[in-house]
């Protein structure tokens, strides 16, 4: 019958529940007995123990009050006497009303009598109408008060010893009861376990035989053999489980076929999209072997049939390409250089290289994908633009210089005295021409730097000297603006390999910007510190208004100026600084918070690296 399996399981569980219930009841009964023993200890003796301890403490303080009195500190003695006398009497009342042991009543009565006599003598000392002389006071203390104090203290100790002894006896009794309860619980638990295991073994043996057969066939289905069927000739729950497995196998087979078709279709679509992609794409496995090239990549590295399966070093033969793929696979993040290092030239075309790692769900390496973005046209446009800017800047310098000379002659009155209004116009023209001349000089410098016409002249430089030289250059500007200029250099700095003039220009530019954008009363700090064993970091920090978040990522672009900032240039200084730092193998960055200030920093490699 269908209910037979359920009935057997129910009976076995009811037996186990009954056994567990019996064990629990015995354990609970033992806990109740232990609880009563503990309660009895607390109710009978604990109050008396606490009262005796309180009496001892109060009695010691009363004796101390007498000592204070003899020492001439009568006010302190009377105050301590008045504070502790009620405490002793309250503790004695607790003891007198909590007589629980044989002989405790006699001790308590004698304690009360002894304390009454002690209190009377002590009260006479404390409340004497005229202070006793030193010798009579000592005689009263040592001949009367001290012996009575010792008698009272001894009786208090008798109360404490009597109740503590009772607590120890009760504790031993509770331990004995606990051991007995534990032994009984262990015995009953062992019996219950034996009965439960025996009954469960019998029922499990009766049910496991068909389940073992069912499990073996289910393993075959789980291994992918979905055409198999489970034959179970039973009408109970196990038979129902067998039929359910057969239905599941049919559905799994249909789902598997559908999923295989979907994956094959997606793979075909991905392969077609990758093959027709305009940019060259190379896919490698975890061992660095080429597993796929699209048509654009075949035009660079040869037919896929010949290259596929080869190591990327032998198939590609470009060091930066190979390093980018290996670095992406090893470090598990996108490998993308910045600046000129990001571009590779293959077959007279210029490409931007990006290598991305591939990982499985567990984070294990699967390989890497390298994409070559054809930027030949953009590079040519950049080159032409740079050349145009350089030529325009160079050609405009002569007329601008001539205009500056002419405006200077006008301002000096070489062609006649000028009216105040004419002087104002000429002064404005002179300022604008100076700004234009500076902008073209910066454009020309930037063009030469980007074109490699002004490479760094490396030498060994002391970072502390670079910091001091830059600070001295802008010190006058800082003083005139009311800005405090500070320097800081670590004592154990390593020398750096740098062009003193170019790096000095970067530091002066950063310091000048910081001073110009810091209000009077603020401060600017220039510091040099060790980044690691191979780099030194230079930092310029100010307490100015800060840079809006929308401009933090664009601040190093050409002609970018923060709205509302003080006007002082064409927005080329930071772009020139970035170009110089990158030419030195370093990186420049900025951190800024509105209202808190900004921090520009860049790194330089040490001379030993």
Res 534 pLDDT > 80: yes
212-220 long-range contacts, Cβ below 8 Å, gap at least 24?
214/238, 214/241, 214/242, 214/245, 217/245, 218/245
- Helix ranges (DSSP H) in 223-236: none
Q: Per-residue confidence at 1, pLDDT binned at 50, 70, 90? A: very low
Give pLDDT tens digits for 136-192: 777 777 888 888 888 888 888 888 888 888 888 877 877 787 787 778 778 877 877
Question: In this structure, what token pair is assigned to residue 187?
Answer: 């015995």
Q: How far is CA 218 from CA 200, 224, 233, 378, 585, in A?
A: 25, 10, 16, 62, 63
CB-side neighbour CA atoms (13 Å) of 547: 22
Cut 0.85: pTM above it: no
Among the listed residues 561, 532, 551, the one whose alpha carbon sits nearest the alpha carbon of residue 594: 551
Task: Determine the Cα–Cα distance for residues 22 and 184; give it in Å rounded to an integer.
Answer: 12
71 by DSSP, 3-state: which? coil
* Confidence class for position 483, pLDDT limits 50, 70, 90: very high
Residue 229's φ and ψ, nearest 5 degrees, are -130, 150
Q: What is the pLDDT of residue 135?
A: 72
* Confidence band of 27 (pLDDT split at 50, 70, 90): low
Rounded-to-integer distance, Cα 148 and Cα 399, Å: 119
Which stretch, 332-336, 371-375, 516-520, 560-564, has highest mean pLDDT? 516-520
* pLDDT-based confidence at residue 206 (cuts at 50, 70, 90): low
How do residues 447-464 score in pLDDT, each as one tens digit?
665 655 567 788 999 999
Angle at 607 between CA 602 and CA 609, to 5 degrees: 85
For the chain, state the CA radius of gyration: 48
Which of 120-124, 133-137, 312-316, 420-424 is least confident? 133-137
Helices of type H across 456-563: 463-480, 500-516, 549-552
Query: To which H or E segment does residue 535 belong?
Result: strand 535-542
């Amino acid at each position: 019958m269908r209910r037979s399996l359920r009935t057997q399981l129910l009976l076995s569980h009811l037996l186990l529940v009954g056994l567990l219930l019996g064990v629990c009841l015995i354990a609970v009964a033992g806990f109740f007995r232990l609880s009563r023993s503990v309660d009895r200890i607390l109710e009978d003796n604990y109050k008396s123990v606490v009262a005796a301890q309180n009496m001892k403490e109060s009695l010691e303080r009363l004796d101390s009050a007498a000592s204070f009195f003899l020492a001439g500190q009568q006010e302190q003695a009377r105050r301590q006497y008045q504070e502790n006398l009620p405490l002793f009497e309250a503790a004695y009342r607790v003891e007198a009303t909590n007589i629980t042991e044989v002989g405790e009543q006699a001790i308590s009565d004698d304690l009360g009598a002894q304390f009454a006599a002690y209190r009377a003598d002590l009260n006479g000392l404390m409340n004497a109408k005229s202070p006793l002389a030193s010798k009579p006071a000592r005689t009263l203390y040592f001949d009367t008060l001290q012996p009575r104090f010792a008698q009272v203290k001894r009786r208090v100790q008798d109360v404490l010893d009597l109740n503590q002894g009772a607590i120890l006896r009760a504790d031993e009794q509770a331990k004995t009861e606990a051991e007995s309860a534990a032994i009984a619980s262990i015995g009953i638990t062992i019996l219950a376990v034996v009965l439960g295991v025996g009954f469960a073994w019998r029922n499990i043996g009766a049910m496991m035989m068909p389940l073992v057969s069912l499990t073996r066939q289910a393993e075959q289905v789980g291994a992918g053999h979905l055409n198999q069927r489970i034959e179970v000739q039973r009408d109970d729950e196990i038979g129902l489980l067998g039929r359910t497995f057969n239905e599941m196998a049919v559905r799994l087979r249909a789902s598997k076929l559908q999923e295989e078709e979907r994956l094959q279709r997606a793979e075909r679509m991905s392969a077609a999209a990758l093959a027709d992609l305009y940019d060259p794409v190379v896919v490698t496995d975890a061992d660095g072997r080429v597993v796929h090239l699209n048509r654009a990549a075949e035009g660079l590295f040869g037919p896929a049939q010949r290259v596929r399966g080869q190591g990327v070093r032998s198939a590609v033969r470009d060091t930066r390409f190979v390093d980018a793929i290996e670095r992406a696979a090893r470090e598990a993040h996108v490998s993308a250089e910045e600046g000129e290092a990001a571009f590779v030239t293959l077959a007279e075309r210029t490409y931007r290289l990006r290598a991305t790692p591939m990982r499985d769900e567990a984070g294990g390496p699967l390989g890497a994908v390298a994409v070559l973005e054809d930027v030949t046209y953009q590079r040519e446009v950049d080159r032409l633009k740079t050349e145009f800017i350089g030529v325009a800047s160079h050609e405009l310098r002569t007329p601008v210089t001539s205009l500056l000379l002419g405006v200077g002659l006008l301002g000096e009155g070489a062609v006649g005295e000028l009216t105040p209004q004419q002087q104002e116009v000429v002064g404005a023209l002179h300022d604008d021409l100076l700004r234009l001349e500076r902008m073209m000089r910066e454009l020309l410098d930037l063009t030469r730097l980007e074109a490699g016409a002004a490479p760094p002249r490396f030498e060994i430089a002391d970072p502390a000297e670079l910091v001091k030289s830059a600070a001295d250059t802008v010190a006058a500007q800082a003083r005139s603006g009311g800005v405090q200029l500070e320097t800081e250099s670590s004592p154990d700095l390593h020398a750096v390999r740098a062009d003193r003039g170019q790096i000095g220009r970067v530091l002066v530019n950063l310091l000048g910007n910081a001073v110009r954008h810091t209000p009077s009363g603020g401060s600017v700090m220039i510091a040099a510190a060790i980044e690691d064993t191979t780099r030194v970091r230079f930092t310029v920090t100010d307490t100015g208004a800060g840079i809006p978040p929308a401009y933090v990522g664009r601040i190093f672009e050409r002609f970018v100026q923060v709205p509302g900032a003080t006007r002082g240039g064409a927005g080329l200084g930071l772009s020139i600084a970035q170009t110089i730092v990158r030419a030195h193998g370093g990186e420049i960055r900025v951190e800024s918070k509105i209202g808190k200030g900004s921090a520009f920093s860049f790194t330089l490699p040490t001379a030993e690296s």
